[in-house]
């Protein structure tokens, strides 16, 4: 495995995190959700970043923290209403990301028709690997993602199964909000999401490209 780059300058800038939900049919099925007609979007704040080695934090108000294994796309330039054909020119590279989710809180938000902010946007809810420059990734729709918890394989996915492609997602989001250089897009999780507990050790990667480690700790605010 070639050595990944050190923590990217992109994350030192603390940029926006835009997440796509239900982008894999097998995950939509396991959540008993309908398939989306357009990408489902939500946001995480820059304080959600947990770089490789930093802990993921279990929020005090949740009893069910889930891992979601996702490919992250890092923007290399500003993107505003970018056509799909030009969207890949805006990509600087990729990262392995975890969209940590307070599943019990999300279920309650869904029941009440409320936004998912409490379930998705808490401190350290987005562990990220080192940055992988795009020239090391010939085709981002042919990547294998994996996640182990305490050494046990818990989640695997192949980015070829995404419902909406990366250029479609960039074009779609950029028609709603201007994306800036350094922004990160999480492209959704495949099936196999599940709970983690305090002190669990997560290890996740993009096969052949990068891996990262992250321990689950209880948030002390």
Binding site for ligand OAA (CB under 6 A): 19, 21-22, 27, 31, 68, 99, 101, 106, 188-189
Q: Binding to Mg ion by residue 52, rule CB under 5 A?
A: no
Binding part of the chain for Mg ion, among 42-50, 60-68, 104-112, 156-164 by CB under 5 A, reads 60-68
Contact between residue 185 and residue 173 where contact means Cβ atoms under 8 Å apart: yes
22 binds, among Mg ion, ligand OAA, none (CB under 5 to 8 A by kind): ligand OAA
Taking the complex as a whole, how short is the minimal distance between the CB of residue 190 and ligand OAA, in angstroms? 9
Binding part of the chain for Mg ion, among 2-10, 61-69, 82-90, 146-154 by CB under 5 A, reads 61-69
Looking at the Cβ atoms of 101 and 171, the one nearer to ligand OAA is: 101
Residues 6+ positions from 28 with CB-CB distance below 8 Å = 22, 34, 35, 36
With tokens 């994996």, the residue in question is 146
Residue of minimal CB distance from Mg ion? 99
Taking the complex as a whole, how short is the minimal distance between the CB of residue 193 and ligand OAA, in angstroms? 7
Among 189, 192, 204, 205, binds Mg ion (CB under 5 A): 189
Torsion of CA 24, 152, 42, 30, to 10 degrees: 40
> What single DSSP character describes residue 84?
G
Taking the complex as a whole, how short is the minimal distance between the CB of residue 40 and ligand OAA, in angstroms? 7
Distance CA 128, CA 149 (A): 16
Looking at the Cβ atoms of 111 and 220, the one nearer to ligand OAA is: 111
Q: Binding to Mg ion by residue 68, rule CB under 5 A?
A: yes
Contact between residue 214 and residue 49 where contact means Cβ atoms under 8 Å apart: no
End-to-end CA distance of the chain: 38
Looking at the Cβ atoms of 155 and 189, the one nearer to Mg ion is: 189
Among positions 93-152, residues that touch Mg ion (CB under 5 A) are 99
Strand partners, 153: 148
What is the length of the chain? 221
Helices (H), the chain: 9-12, 25-30, 103-112, 117-120, 166-174
* Residues at the interface with Mg ion (CB under 5 A): 68, 99, 189
């Amino acid at each position: 495995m070639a050595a990944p780059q050190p923590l990217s300058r992109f994350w030192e800038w603390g940029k926006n995190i835009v997440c796509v939900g239900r982008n894999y049919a097998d995950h939509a099925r396991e959540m008993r959700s309908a398939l989306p007609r357009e990408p489902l979007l939500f946001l995480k704040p820059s304080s959600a970043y947990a770089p490789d080695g930093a802990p993921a934090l279990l929020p005090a108000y949740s009893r069910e923290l889930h891992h979601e294994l996702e490919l992250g796309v890092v923007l290399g330039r500003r993107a505003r209403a970018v056509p799909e054909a030009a969207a890949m020119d805006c990509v600087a590279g990729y990262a392995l990301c975890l969209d940590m989710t307070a599943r019990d809180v999300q279920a309650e938000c869904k029941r009440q028709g409320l936004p998912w902010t409490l379930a998705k946007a808490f401190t350290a809810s987005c562990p990220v690997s080192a940055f992988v420059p795009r020239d090391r990734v010939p085709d981002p729709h042919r990547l294998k993602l994996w996640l182990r918890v305490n050494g046990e394989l818990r989640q695997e996915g192949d980015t070829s199964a995404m419902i909406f492609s990366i250029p479609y997602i960039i074009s779609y989001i950029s028609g709603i909000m201007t994306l800036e250089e350094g922004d990160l897009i999480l492209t959704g999780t495949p099936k196999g999401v599940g709970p983690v507990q305090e002190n669990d050790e997560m290890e996740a990667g993009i096969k052949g490209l990068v891996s990262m480690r992250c321990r689950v700790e209880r948030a002390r605010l």
